[in-house]
Chain A
Amino acid sequence: MNRINKLFQEKKNILSIYYTAGYPNLGDTVAIAEELERSGADLLEIGFPYSDPVADGPVIQASSKAALDAGMTLKLLFEQLKDLRKTVSIPVLLMGYVNPLLQYGVANFCKSCAEVGVDGCIVPDLPMAEYEELYANDFKQYDLTNIFLVTPQTAPERIQKIDSLSNGFIYLLSSSATTGQNLQVSEGTEAYFSRIAALKLKNPTMIGFGISSKETFDKACQYANGAIIGSAFVKNLKSDDVSGSVKDFMKTFKP
């Protein structure tokens, strides 16, 4: 069984942290993963940066730009992750946009993920139909999970279809928004989460976008198997004290 399925079988209230590879310093990628595992994170999403991140708000745009300016590439990221599994045991996903992945080659990307022990990826602008038709076999061959997004506007039939193509978890966006805004749980949001619960999906769900505090995290966990924190974490990273700033941030979630 892969690390992701095992995690969801064993744990509730899963805390997943997103950060950008190569930020705040080019060489921080693995050190942050190690510190996050020590501080109690259950799952990691490492972003590979892209020049035109349309689904992201200002914080992740800035971290992506800084990482690219420092020289981050997919090739370098896989080099950095070469010994990942010597020190990090929690599941790791890569997250990024489709164009860098296409240039690296999708089959090649899957192979590199498998070699370094990455468990899957999230590619928001890779359409479901193209994934199914062109790339699903590559993912299967290397036992990689592809995570799909669902928003409050996603139609029920489409959610069912996403569920059938998924084999890890489904990423529920708290609202239709770019990253880095605050989750406001309104009646509408609750109705949306309840609607998802009523679909009795075969995959577990994680809530992301707008989760920034212990309070919003706990609230999200009432409706899903866990939640994902991105911008709030990235904003807190200090380039001169990476390990300390990770620890401080995580204290509020795992005291």
Chain B
Amino acid sequence: MNYFVNEKGYFGDFGGAYIPEMLYPNVEELRTKYLEIIADEGFQKEFHQLLKDYVGRPSPLYLAKRLSQKYGANIFLKREDLNHTGAHKINNTIGQILVAERLGKKRIIAETGAGQHGVATATVCALRGLECVVYMGEIDIQRQAPNVARMKMLGAKVVSATSGSKTLKDATNEAMRDWINNPIDTHYIIGSVVGPHPYPDMVATFQSIISEETKKQLIEQTVNDQPDYVLACVGGGSNAMGMFYHFINDEKVKLIAIEAAGKGVDSGHSAATTALGKEGVLHGSRSILMQTEDGQVIEPYSISAGLDYPGVGPQHAHLFKTLRAQYVSVTDDEALQAGLLLTQLEGIIPAIESAHALAYLEKMKFTGNENVVICLSGRGDKDMDTYMKYFGL
């Protein structure tokens, strides 16, 4: 079974580039050049240098002893929360800004939901001196004021997306419209493993540093580089794809992707895409998305803005359909409780996105010796408001 992209830009039945002709030249330019650019020795050197000296990689793989004791397994946390800007998002924006420079682009656009990808994009634009415009839903701008301020301080222009539901999906639409209207000098840094080919493959490639490091760190800390389980949360799915990447072809390793059930999968307020969705096309690729019978996209709900997306990346759709990975979900309440638990057992406040992955431990059965790796994709500073309200802190 091939779990990776084929020469037509598909992962099994999913992927492709379902874009209007206005975007074709931009996407085609990227498609024909990205592999060569990334494979170039100079690119690799600069990418890894920045990951090391600027982002602070490798991120630690930490054996969480008290958490392990509670669940009866060896639980390792891949500490993406310790990266510069506080999440895994920067791995991708560093890679894409170097690609944009090599394509001769002068202007960067991005979409953002909670603002983590927007901040990571504004950061690399400041680093390299490129113009940056970030599209963000009007409602998210109100909910995430500190991240809006960070982006502005970094020199980015934050544009309010006022169409549709005024959240991430609509910010993505606005970014695509900007790209249509600026076809020559602009590169669109998509923040997840979504969008038209080659984005899902390119973003996964940049995020694959997560599992590349994890395998080395497992050899140092355990007897081999084959954990029993690898867990990660999924919105669009970039941290999960990075965490799974180098384990995908090792079928002994069980991959578990945790989606946001919101108030419950069947509550009408959920973002559990694989449970509720059907095959279709969203934001340029064929995948699984939440939609009506008429093919209109349904607005998802999750307390975590980073998981509040109505689709999953096409590679996830493929891993789901082929049963290579298991897709499950946890609710808002379960995630918040897991966030509190990690804080009190290990002294780490996780992002609510990452807390979804931790919450699934409650539902697993261990015999005592399993090695479990969980991607701790981001830190919880940005979520303090939500934690404060929920726990009455």
Residues of chain A with a CB closer than 8 A to B278's CB: 103
Residues of chain A with a CB closer than 8 A to B282's CB: 52, 99
Complex contact A102–B295 (CB within 8 A): yes
Question: Of B20-28, B35-43, B204-212, B379-387, which binds chain A?
Answer: B20-28
B155 within 8 A of A: no
Complex contact A99–B20 (CB within 8 A): no
Given contacts A50-B296, A127-B17, contact A177 B281 (CB under 8 A): no
B224 within 8 A of A: no
By size class, the interface of chain B is 20 to 34
- List B residues 281-304 near A (Cβ within 8 Å): 281-284, 291, 293-297
B183 within 8 A of A: yes
Complex contact B294–A75 (CB within 8 A): yes
Q: Choose from B21, B25, B173 the contact partner of A54 (Cβ within 8 Å).
A: B173
Separation of A148 and B22 alpha carbons in the complex (Å): 11
- List A residues 112-150 near B (Cβ within 8 Å): 124-127, 129-130, 148-150
A194 within 8 A of B: no
Residues of chain B with a CB closer than 8 A to A54's CB: 20, 173, 176-177, 180, 283
Q: Which residue of B lies closest to A68 (CB)?
A: B296
Separation of A125 and B173 alpha carbons in the complex (Å): 13
Minimum CB–CB distance for A192 against chain B, Å: 13
Complex contact A125–B25 (CB within 8 A): no
Complex contact B280–A102 (CB within 8 A): yes
Residues of chain A with a CB closer than 8 A to B297's CB: 51-52, 99
Q: Choose from A103, A148, A155 the contact partner of B280 (Cβ within 8 Å).
A: A103
Residues of chain A with a CB closer than 8 A to B20's CB: 54-55, 124-125, 149
Minimum CB–CB distance for B185 against chain A, Å: 12
Q: Choose from B22, B25, B280 the contact partner of A99 (Cβ within 8 Å).
A: B280
Task: Scan B15-57; emit 1 where CB is below 8 A from any A CB, else 0.
Answer: 0111111101100000000000000000000000000000000
Given contacts A151-B21, A151-B22, contact A74 B294 (CB under 8 A): yes
Residues of chain A with a CB closer than 8 A to B177's CB: 54-55, 57, 178
Task: Scan A53-86; emit 1 where CB is below 8 A from any B CB, else 0.
Answer: 1110110010001001000011100000000000
Q: Which residue of B lies closest to A76 (CB)?
A: B294
B181 within 8 A of A: yes
Separation of A54 and B172 alpha carbons in the complex (Å): 9
Complex contact B295–A100 (CB within 8 A): yes
Complex contact B21–A154 (CB within 8 A): yes
Q: Choose from B181, B279, B283, B295 the contact partner of A104 (Cβ within 8 Å).
A: B295
Minimum CB–CB distance for B90 against chain A, Å: 27
B164 within 8 A of A: yes
User: Please, could you name 26 A-B residue pairs with CB atoms under 8 Å apart, sorted by A?
Assistant: A50-B295, A52-B164, A52-B282, A52-B283, A53-B173, A54-B20, A54-B173, A54-B176, A54-B283, A55-B180, A73-B293, A98-B18, A101-B295, A104-B294, A125-B284, A127-B16, A127-B17, A127-B18, A129-B8, A130-B18, A148-B21, A149-B21, A151-B21, A153-B22, A158-B24, A178-B181
Q: Which residues of B does A touch, CB under 8 Å? A: 8, 16-22, 24-25, 163-164, 169-170, 173, 176-177, 180-181, 183-184, 278-284, 291, 293-297
Give 8 closest A-B pairs by Cβ, nearest first.
A103-B295, A100-B295, A124-B20, A149-B21, A73-B294, A153-B25, A176-B183, A51-B296
